[in-house]
Amino acid sequence: MTVEHALKTIPRIAKKWEVLLIDDGSSDSTGKIIDKLAKNKNVRAIHHMINRGYGGAFKSGLYGAKYSWIAFTDSDGQFDFSEIKNFIKKQKESNADIVIGYYKKRQVGKVKIITSKMWEYLVFILFGLKVRDIDCGFKLISKKVVDGIPDLESERGAFISSEFLIKAKKKGFKIVEIPVTHYPREVGVGTGRNLKVIVGSFKDLFRLWVKLQ
């Protein structure tokens, strides 16, 4: 389990730490599970009464964090959280404000890879942001970046990652990349390729472009 793995890893690399678990209005037993995990004094559960989407969960985690560095990862088991040690090493070497992962080999279908690259190219054309995998769900972020971007807007869809990095770049924060291992998803179904979500993401993208002109 992702959380259990993280709880074994973090004490080896940090003296003060907290794990935030976000329940985004789940209709299954997720809420009860994270409440049980939150009996650990270093774990805190955050519940959304209604489903706000990936962006809403992302923001609750970022803005709810209290320590100077924030390690963000999806909880679907597709990343090896012990690789956070590589992120920390990269940050110290580069003095970066944000370290983002890029997939050594992405374990998804070719169509998803192609559409992701098309999205990244469009973001580059509109905003000049060039990264290998803009939506990779494994990042190390300085809290000063989060404090400097209090106006994240996106709620539904994965546009939140693009918005966050676009605004971080515009603010002058340093972004570096690091390769990460990606594993096939064993449970659950992602909603990022839902047509309604895709259309909403494009609307958000062009709305942000107009706003930043």
pLDDT single digits (tens) 3-19? 888 999 999 999 999 99
The pLDDT value recorded for residue 172 is: 96
- Please check whether residue 155 is in contact with residue 180, taking contact to mean a CB–CB distance below 8 angstroms: no
The pLDDT value recorded for residue 159 is: 85
Indicate the helix (H) or strand (E) that contains 24. Answer: strand 19-24
Residue 39, CB half-sphere, CA atoms under 13 Å: how many? Answer: 4
Distances (CA, A) of 186 to 1, 75, 76, 131: 11, 12, 8, 27
- The amino acid sitting at 201 is S
What does pTM read for this prediction? 0.89
The CATH number covering residue 183 comes to 3.90.550.10
- The amino acid sitting at 83 is E
The pLDDT value recorded for residue 194 is: 63
pLDDT single digits (tens) 75-115? 878 899 999 999 999 999 999 999 999 998 776 677 878 88
188: left (phi over 0), alpha (psi -120 to 50) or beta: left
The pLDDT value recorded for residue 106 is: 78
The alpha carbon of 206 is separated from its chain's Cα centroid by a whole number of angstroms, namely 21
3-state SS of the chain: helix, strand, coil percent to 5? Answer: 45, 15, 40
More confident residue, 195 or 191: 195
10 Å Cβ neighbour count for 206? Answer: 11
Domain that holds residue 60: 2-211
What total number of domains does the chain contain?
1
Among the listed ranges 7-16, 97-106, 159-168, 190-199, which one has the minimum average pLDDT value? 190-199
